[in-house]
Amino acid sequence: MGSKLVELARQTLRVVAGTAVYVAIVLLAAPLPAAAGIMLTFPALNGLFFFFSGDERAAGIARSMLWMPVINGALCGGYILLFAMLARSVSPAVVAWSLLLAVVILWYACVTRRWVRAGVAPERQFAYAVAATLVGALMVIVVGAAAARTGGAPITVPGAADADGAPWIVATILRSRLKIALFAATLAVVLLAAAYFPLSDSTRGILSGLPVVPFGGLVAIAADGSMSLHERLHILAGMGRGVWLGPAVAIWFIYCLSRFLGNRAKTQPPARDAAIRFGALVAGWLAAFAIIVAVGCGIEAFFA
């Protein structure tokens, strides 16, 4: 009984720590609306899953995990495009929730395919990352050009620049409370499942890509009756410009971190080893975030 309580406390601390990291990411991203679409597939959960799994499993987990950003990014992009097409002729709330149901069904249909569970072979992962980057860039150009012809406008984030210091932090957290709660719930589920059930590496990779946060974030905007339809379409149009390059950022993060963890030698004492692993994770997140900011600003400048 005592050991079970200790394990439960350990998992609870992991959820709290992981959620705190996610809140920090939300606060960093809030003043950067140009990067909002790319942030939909930010590899927060992917990185935590690597950290809380043993290094010896990193390569195996990465195989199926590499498919998740592409699946999630494509479904997010499809959601944004279809909502823009349908919301003017059908109730926006009905469209928002119907599309959510559709993308959830499609997500499950994709991740249960044999090719997803088999994952991307190690010798093909670099080429896969390059291809995802090139295809994503092409999609940004095509979708962005189409949006420009139909009067698309850059994204705006209400209230992002209207406050400073503690009030701004509190306001940002409150505005993002649904995303934060969804992330915490998802992290708790996957960590408890990994701790108490004999999950294969392929299942772990798929669970690390549970799209609760991106799908929840999209429906929170699309179904928000406190905003006019024009405002919702305006925000989603801005996100739709960058969402196609989000998978590439996450894929490069997964590729680099899994290679580092899988090839490094453990150090002693264990506390030092954990510090090195966590340092690598934070460095990967910071690099991904910096790339997202640069790419997001570049997209806005290109279509200005």
How far is the CA of 129 from the CAs of 66, 135, 159, 253, in angstroms?
9, 10, 36, 10
Taking Cα atoms as reference points, which of 19, 44, 89 lies closest to residue 211?
44
Q: Can you give the pLDDT at residue 186?
A: 81
Tokens 């940002």 appear where? 172
Q: Do you find a cis peptide bond into 269, omega within 30 degrees of 0?
A: yes
Domain boundaries, the chain: 2-29+36-302
* C-alpha separations of 151 from 35, 154, 227, 230 in Å: 20, 10, 19, 12
Which pLDDT value is given to residue 4?
Answer: 67
| pLDDT recorded at residue 104 | 92
User: In angstroms, rounded to a whole number, what is the distance separating the alpha carbons of residues 73 and 244?
Assistant: 6
CA distance 242 to 298: 10
pLDDT tens digits for the chain (304 residues)?
566 677 677 778 878 877 887 787 777 766 666 688 898 899 988 998 898 888 889 999 999 999 999 999 999 999 999 999 999 999 999 999 999 999 999 999 999 999 999 999 999 999 999 999 999 999 998 887 777 666 544 444 444 445 556 787 787 777 777 778 888 888 888 777 777 777 889 999 998 888 888 888 888 889 888 888 998 898 888 888 889 999 999 999 999 999 999 898 888 888 888 889 889 999 999 999 999 989 988 888 887 7
User: How far, in Å, CA of 191 to CA of 214, rounded?
Assistant: 19
User: If you write DSSP's letter for every residue of 245-271 in order, what string do you get?
Assistant: GHHHHHHHHHHHHHHHHHHPPP-SSHH
Residue whose token pair is 């290109």: 302
d(CA 205, CA 50): 9
Q: Output the pLDDT for position 159.
A: 47
